[in-house]
Amino acid sequence: MSGTFIGQLNDAITKKRDFLKANLHQSGKQIDAELRQAVLQQWHSALPDAPNAAKRQAYAIDGSRRRANLANGSTVFVAQALIMGDKLSEPITDLEILPGTVPAETMDRFADLMLRSLEIGLAREFAEQIPEGSILYLDGAIYGMLPQLYPLRGTDIPEDRDYASMLLESYRRLFKLCAERNLLLVSISKTNRQALFSKIIQRNLGRSEIVEITDSALLDELTERKVGYSTPLLLGRYSFEQGKSSVVIQDLNVQEEPAIVSFFIRLDDMDDVLKVEVPASCLGRRERIGHVDAELIEAEAIRPVIQLLASDYGGLQVYNALLYVTDLEVRLSKEKMYNIYLPMVAEVLGEELRIDRSERRFVE
């Protein structure tokens, strides 16, 4: 046996080569000829030409968060968000501390909702101030988040820290402002592990047994990493009718919010697929979440958004010029968290914040 980690890893890869390759392409093995044809029928291999019209002013919002586990079992969360655009760069930062009695899954949900609440709160605030007709880019999904906005309840989480309810109200106000001020809200997700498009395509084929294939894997396997985009989905009740998500659509009346138009796009050969979501009202459509389930709509509906994305594309590393710059500015490094933010918190609180031993060895 080789005497180094690298040598042993090479040996392990060599021994398990066939098994690893099979798992890497497992999704592809589940795609039969009928499913393959159905997916390719919904993939459009040419992007529409961009018009010569004057560009609208654009703004981007992104966020970042870090957590630090303390020796006494408590966890410190820091989240920050930033909006950037024409003559505008406005940050917002917040911090929370939860005791160790909060279950791990609740802590994870708390952290995700806290960050998203900052981002959408910032979007809501500046949607009232930026010029009418502007474009507002968001990092991350809209539709996938909405069914998760049932109230945040848990041990040792105060009611005034119910970030799910706060976030839902921010979304409501943001959607309303976009409609009133003709703002185009475009959400871009760099990663996607859902199987929404995949399941709807299979459902439309009349299949009773739905194979679990993520949308990214499905499109990556079938499109040969060529430029193109998928037929858009109009999403409504589809993801709201199970478990706690039913509370969101019924009790919290999310059924009256605009349906979401969702599609995938690859802006250049060999690039990764992006998931793009836009409230239907931003495209001049009247459908509401409670009025539709999930259906494929005409590709022409998203033509202006595709033209916009293509014009702001900066290559394989820069999927969207404005969001890329915002991401670089807002990113919260581990060094900043441990060496600047935590000492600041300790000084203001007049308390020693001792990092958990498992983390301390990496920062001292």
**CA atoms of 137 and 315, how far apart (whole Å):** 18
3-state secondary structure of 354: coil
Give domain status of residue 28, yes or no. Answer: no
Q: What's the distance, CA 65 to chain centroid?
A: 14
Tens digit of each residue's pLDDT (9 = 90 or more) over 24-75: 765 556 788 999 999 999 999 989 887 665 678 999 999 999 999 999 999 9
- Residues sharing a CB contact under 8 Å with residue 145, sequence separation 6 or more, in sequence order: 116, 167
Helix residue ranges, H only, the chain = 5-15, 17-24, 26-29, 33-41, 104-127, 163-181, 196-204, 215-222, 245-250, 303-311, 321-330, 334-336, 342-349, 357-360
CA neighbours within 13 Å on the CB side: how many for 212?
A: 2
Identify the burial level of 333 via C-beta atoms within 10 angstroms of its C-beta, where 0-12 means exposed, 13-18 middle and 19 or more buried. exposed
Residue 119 near residue 138 (C-beta atoms within 8 A): yes
Q: Which two tokens stand for residue 54?
A: 């004057």
CA–CA distances in Å: residue 105 to residues 82, 102, 110: 27, 8, 9
Per residue of the chain (364 residues), what is the pLDDT tens digit?
A: 457 988 899 999 999 998 888 777 655 567 889 999 999 999 999 898 876 656 789 999 999 999 999 999 999 999 999 999 999 999 999 999 999 999 999 999 999 999 999 999 999 999 999 999 999 999 999 999 999 999 998 778 888 899 999 999 999 999 999 999 999 999 999 888 889 999 999 999 999 889 888 898 899 889 999 999 999 999 999 999 777 888 898 889 899 999 999 999 999 999 999 999 999 999 999 999 999 999 999 999 999 999 999 999 988 889 999 999 999 999 999 999 999 999 999 999 999 999 887 776 656 5
Q: What's the distance, CA 352 to chain centroid?
A: 35
pTM over 0.75: yes
Q: Taking Cα atoms as reference points, which of 170, 116, 173, 163 lies closest to residue 144?
A: 116
Give domain status of residue 123, yes or no. Answer: yes
**CA atoms of 208 and 213, how far apart (whole Å):** 15
- Residues sharing a CB contact under 8 Å with residue 272, sequence separation 6 or more, in sequence order: 190, 266, 319
Q: Among residues of the chain, what percentage have pLDDT more than 70? A: 96
**CA atoms of 187 and 143, how far apart (whole Å):** 10
Q: How many domains does the chain have?
A: 1
- Residues sharing a CB contact under 8 Å with residue 28, sequence separation 6 or more, in sequence order: 217, 221
Give domain status of residue 268, yes or no. Answer: yes
Give domain status of residue 309, yes or no. Answer: yes
| DSSP 8-state secondary structure symbol assigned to residue 147 | G
Give domain status of residue 44, yes or no. Answer: no
Tell me what pLDDT residue 360 has: 64
Q: Which two tokens stand for residue 113?
A: 């909702």
Domain that holds residue 220: 58-330
What's the chain's length in residues? 364
Give domain status of residue 157, yes or no. Answer: yes
Give domain status of residue 340, yes or no. Answer: no
Give domain status of residue 312, yes or no. Answer: yes
Residue 278 near residue 261 (C-beta atoms within 8 A): yes
